[in-house]
Amino acid sequence: MNNQAELISIGNELLSGRTLNTHGQDLGGALTAIGLQLMRDTTIPDEIPIIGSAVQEALARTNLVFVSGGLGPTVDDITRDALALLLGQAIVFDQPTVDHLEGWFAKRGRTLNPAGKRQALVLEGATVLPNSIGAAPGQRFDLPDGKTLFVLPGPPNEFNAILNEEIVPWLKERYAGARPTLVRIVRTKGIGESDIVTILEAENFNPKDVALGFYPAMGKVEIRLTAEPDHEVSVSAAEQTLLHLLAAFLDPES
């Protein structure tokens, strides 16, 4: 089963620099932890044709597509409209969400108005994913070809609440056979990235079935070794070799 996913974040504010987009980091971490892989992270504006084409292209490439943003009550919240047009689905009110919104507004001393009620609109046939800390719910739309489209609100705390409470448990069940990628980390201090590479090349350090990644920051370098779940011996051996070769430069705080 294809264990790859794509994320499409929607919002002019993300592209203008007004708002920091953390969805890729949060989703990537959640998927990696259960053995799935985020392959693309795309940010696009609030424009129906662009939303439609981006989602259509993502669904052609992978089985899991996550869309975030554009589910609020304002005129520029058009994600539902774009997806309804793409999928040929009607948009309907979800009554449990309407009830939730009425209570959510009442707790804040407000009355649910027509604009606020718009957040209870969902794609007909979608599984509604409750938003425990916000207004607009998430949605899971299962397509006939076995692909799944998740639609999530943009605010990071709401995105993560629905992801962790509703989506991750479903993914764990759906992809029960998935196993997390093996990761080992060696942290160094007082040596540059190019000097580390020079040492490793001199020792012909090129472990089989293990991928290396170098991440320098603030006078330190983090070396990440990753491997498929079946290569535990290889990644552990590579880690021990690195610890030996770079013993004089290991970060004592790691």
- Write down the pLDDT at residue 186: 96
Mean pLDDT of the residues in the chain? 94
Query: Count of H helices and E strands in the chain?
Result: 10, 11
Pairing mode, strands 220-227 and 211-217? antiparallel
pLDDT at 1 over 80: no
Output the six-digit token pair for 140. 């899971």
pLDDT at 3 over 70: yes
- State pLDDT tens for residues 140-174: 999 989 999 999 999 999 999 999 999 999 999 99
- Segments of the chain assigned to CATH 3.30.70.2860: 182-249
Report percent pLDDT > 70 for the chain: 100
pLDDT at 254 over 80: no
- State pLDDT tens for residues 82-121: 999 999 999 999 999 999 999 989 999 999 999 999 999 9
pLDDT at 212 over 60: yes
Residue 26 C-beta-side C-alpha neighbours within 13 Å? 21
CB-based burial of residue 168 (10 Å sphere; 0-12 exposed, 13-18 middle, 19+ buried)? middle
In the structure, what pLDDT confidence band is assigned to residue 13 with cuts at 50, 70 and 90? very high
pLDDT at 209 over 60: yes
Calculate helix-pair angle for 48-61, 79-87, nearest 10 degrees: 60
pLDDT at 76 over 90: no
pLDDT at 226 over 60: yes
Q: Identify the CATH number of the domain defined by range 4-174.
A: 3.40.980.10
CATH-assigned architecture of domain 182-249: 2-Layer Sandwich (3.30)
CB atoms under 10 Å from CB of 131, counted, come to: 25
- State pLDDT tens for residues 42-68: 999 999 999 999 999 999 999 999 999
- State pLDDT tens for residues 180-190: 999 999 999 99
Report percent pLDDT > 90 for the chain: 91
